[in-house]
Structure 1
Amino acid sequence: MKNMLKADQTVDAKAIPGLGSVARESLQERVYQELAKSLMHGVFAAGQVLRMQALADTLQVSIMPVREALARLVSDQALEMMPNRSTRVPLITAERLEDLARVRCLIEGELVRLATPKTDKATIKSLRDMTAACEAAFEKPLDDEQVSVTSGLNYQFHFTIYGMAGSDVLLPIVRSLWMQSGPFVRASALVYGRKPSMTAVHHHWALIDALAEGDAGAAVKALHSDITQSFNLLRQDIVEGTTDE
């Protein structure tokens, strides 16, 4: 019992590993999660340089947690470090589009397959409401605010389905893929805005119908069409040299 502390004794924080760094680590994690969410929601454009001071001012934190969060996002391949040590969102290239589309179809297709038998009527209604809201948003002029709205609804739609799959292994992988492809989804939304004859959420409706019918094959097919249509639009823009991002 010699090592037990008396009631009036104090403990040096350094003697208890972790106590001194919990708050700092929590702040860094919150900054990381906020930036990751912004990437997935298409807040940042492809090629955009992220200024640490501007991010710190917006998030109302010091530079240090922002620097650490950006380093993690570079490691996640969601951002890239430039020769001058600045950090930017990767540019849109045909090769990167093809790679992301292929992997997203594989991983997200499996989540849709797993989610199909678990999707209940309440979820179907929620998905229909989200898609209707997204469709209405696309009918308005697509400025930066509206693009963020459509991208956020698109994220909510997909991750509502993926959450139904119940896979703790696949979901973090998909989050990583969405951090990388979020800026491209933003760019494709702008392309849809220039082509009013195209329907951005057509495949969402098809996916909902397949889920409602319990048809996993049709649901996966609709998802693949949804992903590839957006990415094909960007490929065409690259060929034509009209990509805005």
Structure 2
Amino acid sequence: MKSLGWKVQKAENLEDEMLIGIQTMSEQISAIVRERILRGKMELGKVIRQESLAEELNVSVVPLRQALARLHHEGVLCYLAHRGYFVRSFTEAQLFELYTLRLKLEPDSIALASTVATFEERSSAKRALQQLNSAYERDPEGFEYARSGFSISLLQPFNQEIIFDILIRLIRLSAQAWIQHMQGDWAHSVNLQTAVSIYHAWTAARSSEVAAKVREDIERNCRTCFPPSNST
């Protein structure tokens, strides 16, 4: 198993790549733990053994505790006194709420980002799309992590800091809730061509088209989890 030191030297996904060089040690650990959660590698309700995880990642316990506290603040983990941290479980109502909030903020924000994206940011989005396709074909347990990374790559040029931070949290939490709700039964609901069409509209800065396609994609994901008869 690769140590954290290897992770610092080589980013295997877009989110690590965008943040390497500006992260503290605890932030890097947070990213690794978040990825494990989105890959279903951390069991719901099971207390995280901090000493064992620190040894596994080849880090000290202090930055690990800071990382876990950060993830607790973000809503990724829960904490109980005298027990410790464990992966948060989401209800169907909470998942629906997350998608509802994304619908209000994400389409127009990604559309605006498309109009100001630099060449480097477009290149990062292209790599994120390639990673999404690769996960779909060869790494199903990493698919939702790659899908959230693709959404984040499209938001990266967005220059309204507060909305950006809120959306990043919403994307990550909805990915975590989606995995718990779908329990691996996602293949029938995924249309990679939608991501491709969003990417092409985004790189061409066709903002109205971007907003419409992103909105349609979020609505489709929501319908997959909540058929109309159950979401009204």
1:47 aligns with 2:44: yes
Spell out, residue by residue over 1:160-205, the C-alpha distance to the aligned partner (whole angstroms, 9 max, x if none).
Answer: 2211223333332223224423323545582224x3xx43423212
Instruction: State the AA in 2 paired with 1:47.
Output: L
| Local SS of the residue matching 1:139 | helix
Which amino acid in the other structure matches residue 190 of structure 1?
G
Instruction: Quickly say closer, same or farther: Cα 1:103–1:40, change in 2 above 3 A.
Output: farther
Corresponding residue for 1:171? 164
The one of 158, 176, 186 equivalent to 2:151 is 158
Equivalent of 1:112 in 110, 133, 144: 110
| Aligned partner of 1:220 among 205, 211, 228 | 211
User: In structure 1, what is the equivalent of residue 77 of structure 2?
Assistant: 79
RMSD over aligned CA atoms reads 3.3
Point out where structure 2 has 5 or more consecutive residues left out of the alignment.
1-22
Among all aligned residue pairs of Structure 1 and Structure 2, give the percentage whose two residues are the same amino acid: 18
TM-score (norm 1): 0.65
Kept in 1: contact 2:107–2:215 (CA 8 A): yes
Q: Is the 8 A contact 1:46 1:91 kept in 2?
A: no
Listed one character per residue, the Cα deviations across residues 124-168 of structure 1 (whole Å, up to 9, x for unaligned) are: 56645543542343234x5xxx422x3343233222221122333
TM-score, structure 2 length as denominator?
Answer: 0.68
- Asked if 1:182 is matched to 2:178, the reply is no
1:71–1:204 Cα change, 3 Å:
same
Greater CA radius of gyration, 1 or 2? 1
Number of equivalent positions? 202
Q: 1:52: Cα distance to partner?
A: 1.5
Tell me the equivalent position of 2:19.
Answer: none
2:30 to 21, 29, 35: 35
Distance 1:220 1:205, change over 3 A: same
Question: Which residue identity lines up with residue 192 of structure 1 in the other structure?
Answer: W
Partner SS for 1:118? coil
For residues 157 and 170 of structure 2, the distance between their equivalents in structure 1, rounded to whole angstroms, comes to 18
Q: Return the alpha-carbon distance in structure 2 between the equivalents of residues 213 and 67 of structure 1.
A: 43
Structure 1 outlier segments of 4+, above 6 Å = none
Partner of 1:191: 185
CA contact (8 A) 2:113 2:157 kept: yes
1:147 aligns with 2:145: no
Aligned to 2:66: 68
